[in-house]
Structure 1
Amino acid sequence: MSQKSESSGSRDLLNNPIGKTLQSMTVPMLVGMIMMMSFGLVDTFFIGLLGTDELAAISFTFPVTFTLISLHIGLGIGTSAVIARFLGSNSHSEAQLSGTGALMLAFVLAVVLALIGVFTIDPIFTLLGASENLLEYIQQYMVVWYAAGVFLAMPMVGNSILRASGDTKTSSYVMAGGGLVNVILDPILIFGWGPIPAMGMQGAALATLIAWALGLVYILYLLAYKRQLILSRLLNIPELKHAISGILKIGLPAAGANMLTPVAGGILTAVVAGYGPGAVAAWGVGGRLESIASIVILALSMSLPPFISQNYGANNLSRVSKAYQLCVRFVIVWQLLVFVLFYFLSGVIASVFSTEPDVIELIQTYLMIVPLGYGVQGIVILTNSSFNAMHLPMSALIMSVLRLFVFFVPISYLGSYLFDLKGMFWAGILANIITATIAYLWFCRSLAKRIAT
């Protein structure tokens, strides 16, 4: 890789030591994600100060906003895989074309989704169960959020282009910077300050829009002029069709796989609801803690694919195999340490989230069982990311369907039916072990076939 690329934050993914390279790419992603999670909690805190209705209203928006963000994540996965492969095969002009096309596609998709979203706010949120008094707050927030979604989609894809070049540090800075601007603007726009009137829920959405818009300006400047990873012009129609064909081939299945997770979660939440509000509360707390406990896995799932795609493009398949095996071993050991920590601190953690003895006991039971399966669950997540990076998106989608709807949901339900809530927790671990074994063997076999050819 050129000296310019090295100095601008990109790394030589084809020659540098595998372990050190993955570490140097993952740590910045980890820091950025921790900061984003922290800022997200602060954002929710400010909205909660408006009142219970406002907090309930913002809670109703999460499934819708998460679904749209999942689409953009899928597009980013496709973008990263395609561009990294081009960079690995030294096809810089094709990489520029694909990057430009991906950003144009993200803009068009975000505008279409925003228009559809604005005109379907009432029916969608009524279907989700929002009451009439909450719909007013939801409308205030979502009309602005849909507009902000246009500015969200392009930086997400832009960050994928940066990661494809091996630069995760700048990507994490953009994530954290956007979250920080959002947090600074939240109290000003929500509650008012000086000549700025209090805007309530709409102010929270406006803060998000401004933060993402600033991120978009910086990303476009960086990609087009400083790094020259995209073209400084729009593509014509033939160029656009050529540029996005490969991205959509990977991005659409990846988006579909991402959107299956909340569906499966909703089904299991309904099962847990049969044990009462306390069980739902414990399940909800466990889910929030899982996202924190699995943050290293999530960071790795974003840094490993560019490494695999570049080496796949350069036909360095032995490095792909070594990187995958290294990550699998690390995740197993790391998540076992996390499980031990949760096991011995389960009582302390449970008491932080509730004062009711029954709920504390349920949270403690969750923390003493479920985290044991985080390591094997991490193998599935990393394998799906690796399949996408190897340009095998349908394998990743099929793997997600198998995990969630052939093993996880049915086996968890059976465990609940036979052995109550504790049985459901253990059954989920069993389902993850089965899925991880299949995923690991499937990826190794696919890679061996490609090495043989």
Structure 2
Amino acid sequence: MHSAPNNKMAAKPVFPLLMSMALPPMLSMLLGSLYNIIDSMFVARYSADALTAVSLAFPLQNFALAVAVGTGVGISSYIARKLGEGDRDAANSAVAHGLLLSLAHYLLFVLLGLFLTKPFLSMFTSSPVILGLGADYLFIVLVGCVGQQVQIAIEKMLQATGNMVWPMLMQALGCVVNIILDPIMIFGLFGFPEMGVRGAALATIIGQLASMALAFFSLFKKEHEVRLDLRRLKFRPAVIGEIYNVGAPTILMNSLGSVLVMGLNSLLMRFSEAAVSVFGIYYKLQTFVFMPVSGMAQGAMPIMGYNYGARSRGRVVACFRDSLIVSAAILAAGNLLFVLLPGPLLALFGAGPEMTSIGVPALRILGCSYLPAALGCCIPTLFQAVGRGRSSLVIFLLRQFAITLPLAWLLAGPMGLEGVWVSFIVAEVAAAAAAALMLAQLFRRDPVLIRGCPTPEKQA
């Protein structure tokens, strides 16, 4: 049975609804991107070795984020579809199951932090200074990531119901705490001991814990369409399976981004440590472009998921179209920023002559990869919203792994570092073409999305 279209997800005009739901996560993720950039700026000013160490630690740190976000996407997609179908009990069941999964994932990262930090980093550097700094940083961010895992799960649960304000406040609080504590704990201000990269890691953990505290406050003290009721919890493997059906491909997608970074770091170390640092700077800067696009996806997915569950084809299509247009505009602006202002962007990180000579052409080439990326970013969101996580995985594999990494190694020989950067453009073009073909196939075969599909109103 479908719920009556008496709420904003079913009745409010699509573009105003999309922007009301997308702007809060876009703003909070922009703030998060600003934190990432400021964090790297402080670390870079502490020492060049510290920046290289944090860059090498990034893949495992990003893996923890990938697991949290991927699981959250699976939870959000499931809740949105069940609410669209009118099955609130199933949606509430996903809340408890999702939190249990988050705690299980946290235990995994405690083990990784205890046993794999030095062996992992030693694959990329023989410098005892860089190895020591990287191990200190990575151990803290992994063993202390419980706040990250739990907060993101609750954030996605609330986003599935159309509530974007509380998730924005959670993320914003963590970012603000991080930004305030970073210089204090890294450089030892106001009576604090100078802690270097350990201070940067601790500031990150404290910010995540602050976000988690606010997330629990919102979940337990405020009224939402879903709630946590452990007294009525019945463990259902089918719910876990549904969450992972969308979440596991998303985890794998984002984790393969870490594999990409590891593979490219290995390649770039053959050129110089400065090349690794430039790539680390780029990865921080590109979040300033792609995080707003991700925020747009966070706003669009519950709308598309709800209306897909309610069999409202027109609203699904309208939401996808509008999110694609806005995302393309953001990526075009990012392209201009990287092409026109690479020097000033690198100067934010105190780049010397060697890093600047590598970084200016790198940012200009990499920025051009943003132009075809809109399709590769937005179409997977539609697939996730309708419960087809494997299709989104295929697109991401093309964008971030299957083409980029082997092509970078192939082109690095004849073209040098420029060949590494060009591989990103080729991968985005290929992924956009494949995504368009898969989208056309979805609209030909999906019983809800086939043109002429009866809406609930027509069925009535």
Please report the TM-score for the alignment, with normalisation by the length of structure 2: 0.83
Task: Provide the rounded CA distance (Å) in 1 between the counterparts of 2:337 and 2:58.
Answer: 30
Report the AA paired with residue 34 of structure 1. Answer: L
Distance 1:442 1:267, change over 3 A: same
1:401 maps onto 2:397 in alignment: yes
Task: Provide the rounded CA distance (Å) in 2 between the counterparts of 1:357 and 1:50.
Answer: 18
The answer as to whether partners of 2:37 and 2:285 remain within 8 angstroms in 1 is no
Distance 1:193 1:387, change over 3 A: same
Please report the TM-score for the alignment, with normalisation by the length of structure 1: 0.84
Q: What corresponds to 1:108 in structure 2? A: 104
Q: How does 1:387-398 map to 2 (within 5 A)?
A: 387-398=383-394
How far is 1:170 from its partner?
Answer: 1.6
How far is 1:246 from its partner?
Answer: 0.9
How far is 1:301 from its partner?
Answer: 2.3
1:231 maps onto 2:228 in alignment: yes
Q: What corresponds to 1:145 in structure 2? A: 141
Q: How does 1:279-294 map to 2 (within 5 A)?
A: 283-294=279-290
Shifted more, 394-403 versus 160-169: the winner is 394-403
Q: 1:254 aligns with which of 230, 241, 250?
A: 250
Task: Provide the rounded CA distance (Å) in 1 between the counterparts of 2:412 and 2:140.
Answer: 42
Task: Provide the rounded CA distance (Å) in 2 between the counterparts of 1:234 and 1:57.
Answer: 46
CA RMSD of aligned residues (A): 3.4
Task: Provide the rounded CA distance (Å) in 1 between the counterparts of 2:136 and 2:362.
Answer: 37
Q: What corresponds to 1:448 in structure 2? A: 444
Report the AA paired with residue 76 of structure 1. Answer: G
SS class of match (2:86): coil
SS class of match (1:99): helix
Q: How does 1:197-276 map to 2 (within 5 A)?
A: 201-228=197-224, 229-233=226-230, 236=233, 238-270=234-266
SS class of match (2:387): coil
SS class of match (1:262): helix
Distance 1:324 1:417, change over 3 A: farther
Report the AA paired with residue 267 of structure 1. Answer: G
Q: 2:36 aligns with which of 33, 40, 43?
A: 40
Report the AA paired with residue 121 of structure 2. Answer: F
Q: 1:156 aligns with which of 152, 157, 181?
A: 152
Report the AA paired with residue 19 of structure 1. Answer: F
Q: What corresponds to 2:113 in structure 1? A: 117
Distance 1:329 1:412, change over 3 A: farther
Distance 1:324 1:217, change over 3 A: same
How far is 1:156 from its partner?
Answer: 0.6
Distance 1:124 1:358, change over 3 A: closer
Shifted more, 337-346 versus 253-262: the winner is 337-346
How far is 1:31 from its partner?
Answer: 1.4
The answer as to whether partners of 2:278 and 2:359 remain within 8 angstroms in 1 is yes
Shifted more, 100-109 versus 118-127: the winner is 118-127
Shifted more, 270-279 versus 168-177: the winner is 270-279
Shifted more, 95-104 versus 432-441: the winner is 432-441
Q: How does 1:7-26 map to 2 (within 5 A)?
A: 12-26=8-22
The answer as to whether partners of 1:192 and 1:199 remain within 8 angstroms in 2 is no
Aligned length: 444
The answer as to whether partners of 1:412 and 1:431 remain within 8 angstroms in 2 is no
SS class of match (1:127): coil
The answer as to whether partners of 2:339 and 2:364 remain within 8 angstroms in 1 is yes
Percent of residue pairs bearing the same amino acid type: 24
SS class of match (1:13): helix
Deviation string 1:371-425 (CA, Å, 9 cap, x unpaired) is 2331321211221222111111111112222334444344555555565555665
Deviation string 1:191-230 (CA, Å, 9 cap, x unpaired) is 3756x76666545444433332332232123223413422
SS class of match (2:8): coil
SS class of match (2:172): helix
Task: Provide the rounded CA distance (Å) in 1 between the counterparts of 2:386 and 2:281.
Answer: 35
How far is 1:255 from its partner?
Answer: 0.3
1:167 maps onto 2:144 in alignment: no
Deviation string 1:51-75 (CA, Å, 9 cap, x unpaired) is 5555554444322111111111110
Task: Provide the rounded CA distance (Å) in 2 between the counterparts of 1:198 and 1:12.
Answer: 51
Alignment gaps of 5+ in structure 2: 454-460
How far is 1:249 from its partner?
Answer: 1.8
Task: Provide the rounded CA distance (Å) in 2 between the counterparts of 1:368 and 1:17.
Answer: 39
Shifted more, 427-436 versus 281-290: the winner is 281-290
SS class of match (1:375): coil
Deviation string 1:234-277 (CA, Å, 9 cap, x unpaired) is 665x4253432211221111101111123234434555566666
How far is 1:312 from its partner?
Answer: 1.1
Q: 1:31 aligns with which of 27, 32, 37?
A: 27
Shifted more, 360-369 versus 272-281: the winner is 272-281
Q: How does 1:83-98 map to 2 (within 5 A)?
A: 83-98=79-94
Q: What corresponds to 2:318 in structure 1? A: 322
Q: What corresponds to 1:177 in structure 2? A: 173
Task: Provide the rounded CA distance (Å) in 1 between the counterparts of 2:316 and 2:82.
Answer: 16
Task: Provide the rounded CA distance (Å) in 2 between the counterparts of 1:181 and 1:382.
Answer: 31
SS class of match (1:374): coil
How far is 1:331 from its partner?
Answer: 3.1
Distance 1:304 1:74, change over 3 A: same
Shifted more, 318-327 versus 419-428: the winner is 419-428
Task: Provide the rounded CA distance (Å) in 1 between the counterparts of 2:416 and 2:129.
Answer: 37
Task: Provide the rounded CA distance (Å) in 2 between the counterparts of 1:421 and 1:122.
Answer: 28
Task: Provide the rounded CA distance (Å) in 2 between the counterparts of 1:73 and 1:172.
Answer: 15
The answer as to whether partners of 2:64 and 2:142 remain within 8 angstroms in 1 is no
Q: What corresponds to 1:299 in structure 2? A: 295
Task: Provide the rounded CA distance (Å) in 1 between the counterparts of 2:125 and 2:227.
Answer: 44
Q: 1:339 aligns with which of 313, 335, 340?
A: 335
Task: Provide the rounded CA distance (Å) in 2 between the counterparts of 1:136 and 1:358.
Answer: 24
Distance 1:445 1:15, change over 3 A: farther
Deviation string 1:5-50 (CA, Å, 9 cap, x unpaired) is x9xxxx8222211111111222211211121222334444555566
